[in-house]
Amino acid sequence: MDSTRARRQSIVWRARLANLFGAVMAFVYFRFIDPIASGPDVTWPEIVFSVVAFTVLTVTGARLATRWAAPMLAGDRSSTEARRRALLFPWVTAGVSLINWMIAGVLFGVVGPLLAGWSLTVQSAVRAIIGITVVGGVVTAAIVFFSVENRWRQELPAFFPTGDLGGVRGVPRLPVRARLLTVFMLTSVGPLILLGIVAWRRGAMAAADPAAAPGIFGEMVAIIAFLIVASLVAAVRLSWTVSDSVAAPLVGLTFAMARVERGDLDAACPVVSNDEIGAATEGFNRMLDGLREREAIKETFGRYVAREVRDEILAGRVTVEGEQREVTVLFADLRDFTPWVEASEPRQVVRDLNGYFAEMEAAVRAHGGLVLQFIGDEIEAVFGAPVAAPDHAARAVRAAVEMRARLAKWNASRATPLRHGIGVHTGAVLAGAIGSRERLSYALVGDTVNLASRIQGLTKDVGADILVSATTARRLSGEITLQPLPAMRVKGKTTEVEVFRVV
């Protein structure tokens, strides 16, 4: 038997056991504790009648509930009618039980005694019908409802995979306050009223016939003891079931919130009721959807801009006005790029460029740098912004050395090796969000950027793959071996620029 069928069988047996408990209590009370009529001791025909009547009522009620639920279980679970019936199922099951108890009140309170030939008065018949129907039936129907609903909640996610139980029309809503009030009325107020009625009736009987007072008070003690035991059993069952129906969803919601706190955004919580707790769970799931959507946007955003820039922008620390910073700028450019593109298949060029850029960006990131943009075959990177780093110059040079090593390793698996030139320069820039109202990008503005690009261009003239400016060289601690070169003139500068080759 699969788990789904086992759960459904469990629901059926919960209803049957609740009705059996109520039937036994009603039989014992009206037959032994407070008989509705004078009759002989318990006979086999009476037992057979009681068993047959209970079985017929139970089987008939189960068949009616099963027939009513058949379209819900066999049809499309996502349909509006199936979802509506799924929410109504506990109500229908409890309603069928209550109707059976109303019929049982007539059978056991009137039909049974008359068939047995007992003397039956109108007062005793009415008392039996009201006692069986109102007292036994209402309490049993409440136990059936809460028991079935509590177990049926395990089936509801199959009908409501995304929640939204509150959106189904035509379904009663039982708030948490009403649940607790129902339990209080049935387990506290109801038994007290019954005890009061018993004490009042027996007291009146003792006052009318003082000679029979000892026997009447003995009966009253027995009735009170029976009502206390029956009420205690019903109270424990009802209180346990209702408290579990409130506590279990809250515990699940608490664990889901703890998972979200740890960063797990797949911690959706099943919605199993249309009360306040269900509404809170639906709100929690909608919040998760928003967080997942925000995380997806954030992740996608981080693919178009660097993660550091993304985080700074989202934190509101990148302004349109920009800020003055001292940074180290690195430019890397591929050599003989145009002939290589002309001699290669376009898709292969894109694949090779992506592979090259991935290796170079990994080297930049390994040393705390940030790739600002890829321009054709050129890379622009910065160290010291947007996240400040006091040793940004050393980081940039170490990254350039690693870029050299990664390119050599990457070329080992290629038939046509690639070459590049890297220029590094340190200076002041204006860093911030640059662009229009519709489109912004994190960028650096200033002469430092231009000079870094010019130094990268000098690598072609001197035959070196890495050149650094004198400004950058003065900020190094000697861990990198540099070879000074003659001062050189670059475009846009009136004075010569002192550069160093990284050995």
pLDDT tens, residue by residue, 134-163: 778 888 888 889 988 888 888 888 888 888
24, 227, 328, 463, 496 from 451: Cα distances, Å: 97, 96, 11, 18, 11
pLDDT at 75 over 70: no
Read off the pLDDT of each residue in 85-114 and give the average, rounded to a whole number: 84
Structure tokens at 215: 């026997």
Read off the pLDDT of each residue in 93-110 and give the average, rounded to a whole number: 84
Fold classification of 311-502 is: Alpha-Beta Plaits (3.30.70)
Task: Specify the amino acid at residue 90.
Answer: P
49, 446, 462, 465 from 489: Cα distances, Å: 116, 19, 12, 18
pLDDT at 171 over 90: no
| Domain locations along the chain | 3-239, 311-502
Cis-peptide, bond into residue 417, ω within 30° of zero: no
Read off the pLDDT of each residue in 66-92 and give the average, rounded to a whole number: 82
Q: How far apart are CA 58 and CA 52, in angstroms?
A: 10
pLDDT given at position 401: 96
Contact assessment for residue 341 and residue 349, using Cβ atoms and an 8 Å cutoff: yes
pLDDT given at position 38: 47
Read off the pLDDT of each residue in 474-496 and give the average, rounded to a whole number: 87
pLDDT given at position 313: 63
| DSSP structure string for 23-39 | HHHHHHIIIIIS-SS--
Read off the pLDDT of each residue in 478-492 and give the average, rounded to a whole number: 87
Task: Out of 22-26, 143-147, 269-273, pick the least confident.
Answer: 22-26
Each residue's pLDDT tens digit, 280-294: 998 998 898 888 888
Give the closest residue to 120 by CA, choosing from 38, 188, 28: 38
pLDDT tier for residue 133 given thresholds of 50, 70 and 90:
confident
pLDDT given at position 393: 95
Q: How far apart are CA 141 and CA 144, in angstroms?
A: 5
Termini Cα distance of the chain? 75
Contact residues for 409 (Cβ-Cβ < 8 A; gap 6+): none
Q: How far apart are CA 269 and CA 271, in angstroms?
A: 6
pLDDT at 34 over 80: no
Q: How far apart are CA 183 and CA 348, in angstroms?
A: 74
